[in-house]
Amino acid sequence: MKQKRTSIITSYKNKTMVETVAQVIFTACALAAVLAVASITAYMVISGTPALFQVGIGEILFGSVWKPTAADPSFGILYVILTSIVGTALAILIGVPIGIFTAIFLAETAPRRIAQIVKPAVELLAGIPSVIYGLLGILILNPLMYQLERKIFAGSQTHQFTGGANLISAVLVLAVMILPTVINVSESAIRAVPGHLKSASYAVGASKIQTIFKVIIPAAKSGIVTAIVLGVGRAIGEAMAISLVSGSSVNLPLPFNSVRFLTTAIVSEMGYASDTHRDVLFTIGLVLFAFIMLINITLTKILKHSDVEEG
């Protein structure tokens, strides 16, 4: 039986061809991702800017009255913007610490049997459709908020009762919805910390808690920040669940006020909007897109600045 011989030159040519093809494929994929982002940005700018010139930047961004279908229409979205900022910030303040501590528990301290129960539960949360969160909010959270609202504002002649559909309900639903993202990404980042760092910490006499907070968390900081960014994106971009539990009325974002987020403003009115009203809804989408981009850029710069200082 004759053995097939392959020369060094042929092998080198084949290897070079494979590497060239792979390089072309990788470059094409990278360009496709960049092109997608650029296309979305261009579309949002083109669609969202006409209303700024038709109505006026000041009236849209700083006006507090939203009456798009009135005889004398007003398109102020200041309260909508403030609601999205306040609601997202509060959801992050509640959800991120719980998510990070849960990730630490699963990755570092949880007994195996408990981890086998908690981990699937977290993954199940990630797979639940957002509308289900909204329905659960209506059935469970809103009645509880309404009872609390009645006790706090009993006898009030000025408070407009919301039936529990208010900012607090929206914030709590958002906080629960971002948990799976924060937990899963943070846990992966924590588990990726090299074992020798923990061993070195224990070797110098550090306790488990000291090792977690002084060694593991700083080493996993990049992944945890990514988890926060994804959580912010999930919170600020959610629409369906929030439209069910927030009341969807344009008001100042106070705890027991019925409120409307940027996303719910688009979802609730795009179906029947036309002309200037429709253009303003695209402007709201542009504002939402700008918020997400600004948050991503800011957190990335903070992370890089922190890495430079530590370096």
Which of 3-17, 53-67, 83-97, 183-197 is the least confident region?
3-17
Buried b (16+ CB within 10 A) or exposed e, 47-86: bbeebbeebeeebbeebeebebeeeeeebbbbbbbebbeb
Which of 2-6, 181-185, 251-255, 298-302 is the least confident region?
2-6
pLDDT in the model for residue 311 = 57
Helix axes 221-237, 262-269, angle to 10 degrees: 30
Ordered by start, the domain boundaries in the chain are 49-310
Residue 169 pLDDT more than 90? yes
Cα–Cα distance between 265 and 76 in angstroms, integer? 12
Percent of all residues in the chain with a pLDDT value above 90, rounded to a whole number: 36
pLDDT in the model for residue 9 = 58
pLDDT digits (tens, 9 = 90+) for 115-143: 888 888 888 888 888 899 999 999 999 99
pLDDT digits (tens, 9 = 90+) for 42-89: 998 898 898 888 888 889 999 888 988 888 888 999 999 999 999 999
pLDDT in the model for residue 189 = 92
Tell me, rounded to whole angstroms, the distance of Cα 77 from its chain centroid.
21
CA distances from 165 to 14, 92, 141, 259, 297 (A): 65, 20, 9, 8, 33
Mean pLDDT of 282-306: 82
pLDDT in the model for residue 7 = 56
CATH (residue range 49-310)? 1.10.3720.10
Residue 1 pLDDT more than 50? no
- 249 phi, psi to nearest 5 deg: -120, 145
User: Max alpha carbon distance in the chain (Å)?
Assistant: 100
Q: How confident is the model at residue 307 (pLDDT cuts 50, 70, 90)?
A: low
Residue 15 pLDDT more than 80? no
Residue 36 pLDDT more than 90? yes
pLDDT in the model for residue 133 = 92
Residue 94 pLDDT more than 50? yes
What's the mean pLDDT when you consider all of the chain? Answer: 87
Residue 151, classed as helix, strand or coil, is: helix
